Structure 1
Amino acid sequence: MSVTEGTVPFRGHRTWYRVVGARTPGGQVPLLVVNGGPGCPHDYLDDLAGLTRETGRPVVFYDQLGCGRSDHPDDPSLWTLDTFVDELAAVREALHLDPVHLLGHSWGSQLALEYVLTRPPGLLSLVLAGPVADAPAYQAETLRLKESLPAAVREVLDRHEAAGTTDDPEYQDAALAFYARYLCRLDPWPPHLVRSFTSINREVYEALWGGAEWNLTGSLKDWDVTARLGEIDLPVLVTSGRHDVATPALVRDLVEAVPGAAWVLFEESSHMPSAEEPEHYRRVVGAFLAEVEADAGSRSRAAA
């Protein structure tokens, strides 16, 4: 299985990418993966490379600016939604990903939605994994989930949030109780998830999001594209976990707003079904991508 790595120039910096699998004329259309965060490298989604082994489909990963193997510029003005939407477009253009399937997970679903709503040509389908379309609604749900934590854990979280000391190690340790329930329920966490989680650029995360999943203080705290979801005219697959921080209630609202969207709920997973149920997850995503391409081929033949 071939693997190609390199960098794409972006705003005077370098964005690192990895292409798993060979792209061949007339072969399967690549899947471009946009990972979550913000400020988190792509490693936790490495299980998706299994699509290449199992089906031959090329899978493209990249680390967003400010994290992982990409450049880490010391420039707070870069940490905006527009920067990362533009970066996604730059990666796609530099790697000639036309046509392409797009998969966005968590924060990556926000990037994917913003990008898709610009109506770029050459997109065959969209996979929204553990998605967010309405940040205030997401915060309300995560606050509800936070209330399920033991009282002693909540006390630590509340005390540091009130004091504005969410960078304190005590706060970060207490937050792990939430993440173990609603982010990834595997015990222990797999190494590729640990690599991502322990490498988060907190400056990027806090600028865009805030102190924690339920503590939105960054520039995205009021972000909401719900009213525009009806504009999406691509085949869309939505995936999430039964115990997901992106709760079934939130995801149901999104699915109902996207014309023709399909939804698969992974019963044994929280926010990371690609790692918690990797074989099942790849089967679902792989079948969806193959069906989209088969339908596109049928339409092309009919038009001819």
Structure 2
Amino acid sequence: MKFNNGEYKLSINGINHWIKIEGYENKTMPLILIHGGPGGNHYNFERTVGRIISKERTVVYYEQRGSGRSDKPESADDYSIDLLVSDLKVLKDLLGIERADLLGYSFGGELALEIAYAFPNDINKLVLSGPSLMYSNIQQLIQIQGFMSVATDAMRDRIEFILKEKTSLEEKFNQVWSIVDTETVDHFLFEDQSNAEQNRKLWEESGLKNTGQMMKALYKKPPQVPLIYRLNKIKHKTLLITGIHDRNTGLSVSKMVDRELNNSSLKLFSNSAHFPEMEETEKFVRLTLEFLNTKD
């Protein structure tokens, strides 16, 4: 690697990206972290599980174009899965990384799979925490069901009303997200509400906002062949981590991904929802490091 520990802004495909390196002194194969959203950031991960993993591994954070502390493109046309994949490739080359492990959570897990598919020789192992399949209807159905399972009676009635309307699934999905309140979202994302409180405090402390622009843009440009039909081409050794209470990307999605991949193992976290790294941190770190440190 050409860069030591610290924070950087690197121009990648015309966009200044926020980069942070920790654990350079460990001299391990770099572990590149890929956040979710789409349009999220690494702020919470940095301050929780990331700082523990970097005690043993060389960790590279980067925030995707238009996300977190990275700059935003001028046009919504400057978002696509292909561009996000290309950004990672350019980043890796700029940092002087020959091969890297990837750890992606939520949408970051889906993006990690796209990267491994596009550049198989550049990637070593994959760790996927609650990966999404955003171009599949199953994702929207899981989230609507998830909200209904934790909503108050009044909120559930409002969702039921939306579901009875003669609109498309996408319209119903967007409407549901537009009406859910903070309490419902916290119960949707976390099994233990003390973890939800910590998460929200960090969100507020960061001052970073997800505008939703990337998600809207990506939905308008789906891949010609959905990822689910290409997973069987990915040969990398993969660790899948999923909370059994995940109401966002869902256990069923992780099982689909695990079934289609060639060389994966699925580990379930019984006390976690969508963020096992925050709800069962010790177990998350232990399994991740055991997986990454095992010689093939």
TM-score tier, shorter chain, comes to 0.7 to 0.9
Is 1:184 the counterpart of 2:184 in the alignment? no
TM-score normalised by the chain length of structure 1: 0.81
Counterpart secondary structure, 1:233: coil
Number of the residue aligned with 2:141: 140
Counterpart secondary structure, 2:89: helix
Closer/same/farther in 2, CA of residues 173 and 142 from structure 1, 3 Å limit: closer
Closer/same/farther in 2, CA of residues 153 and 9 from structure 1, 3 Å limit: same
Closer/same/farther in 2, CA of residues 171 and 131 from structure 1, 3 Å limit: closer
- Residues 23 and 30 in structure 1, CA contact (< 8 A), matched pair in contact too: no
Count matched residues.
279
Alignment RMSD, CA only? 3.0
Is 1:255 the counterpart of 2:258 in the alignment? yes
Counterpart secondary structure, 1:5: strand
Whole-angstrom distance in 2 between the partners of 1:85 and 1:199: 23
The one-character-per-residue Cα deviations of 1:142-174 (angstroms, maximum 9, x if unpaired) are: 222233223422455577897979999x96572
Deviation at 1:45, TM superposition (A): 1.8
Number of the residue aligned with 1:299: none
- Residues 36 and 104 in structure 1, CA contact (< 8 A), matched pair in contact too: yes
Number of the residue aligned with 1:207: 217
Whole-angstrom distance in 2 between the partners of 1:251 and 1:92: 27
Q: Which amino acid aligns with 1:140?
A: L
Number of the residue aligned with 2:270: 267
Counterpart secondary structure, 1:271: coil
Any unmatched runs of 5+ in structure 2?
Answer: none
- Residues 189 and 196 in structure 2, CA contact (< 8 A), matched pair in contact too: no
What pairs up with 1:61-210 in 2 under 5 angstroms? Answer: 61-133=61-133, 135-148=136-149, 149-156=151-158, 174-185=180-191, 186-190=195-199, 191-194=201-204, 199-209=209-219
Whole-angstrom distance in 1 between the partners of 2:273 and 2:99: 31
Whole-angstrom distance in 1 between the partners of 2:107 and 2:213: 15
Whole-angstrom distance in 1 between the partners of 2:73 and 2:202: 24
Closer/same/farther in 2, CA of residues 262 and 144 from structure 1, 3 Å limit: same
Deviation at 1:223, TM superposition (A): 7.3
Closer/same/farther in 2, CA of residues 33 and 187 from structure 1, 3 Å limit: closer
Whole-angstrom distance in 2 between the partners of 1:221 and 1:158: 32
Deviation at 1:234, TM superposition (A): 1.0
The one-character-per-residue Cα deviations of 1:90-137 (angstroms, maximum 9, x if unpaired) are: 211111222210111111122111111113323210111101246222
- Residues 10 and 90 in structure 1, CA contact (< 8 A), matched pair in contact too: yes
Which 10-residue stretch deviates more, 219-228 or 99-108?
A: 219-228
Counterpart secondary structure, 1:188: helix
Whole-angstrom distance in 1 between the partners of 2:132 and 2:82: 17
TM-score normalised by the chain length of structure 2: 0.83
Closer/same/farther in 2, CA of residues 165 and 290 from structure 1, 3 Å limit: closer
Q: Which amino acid aligns with 1:268?
A: N
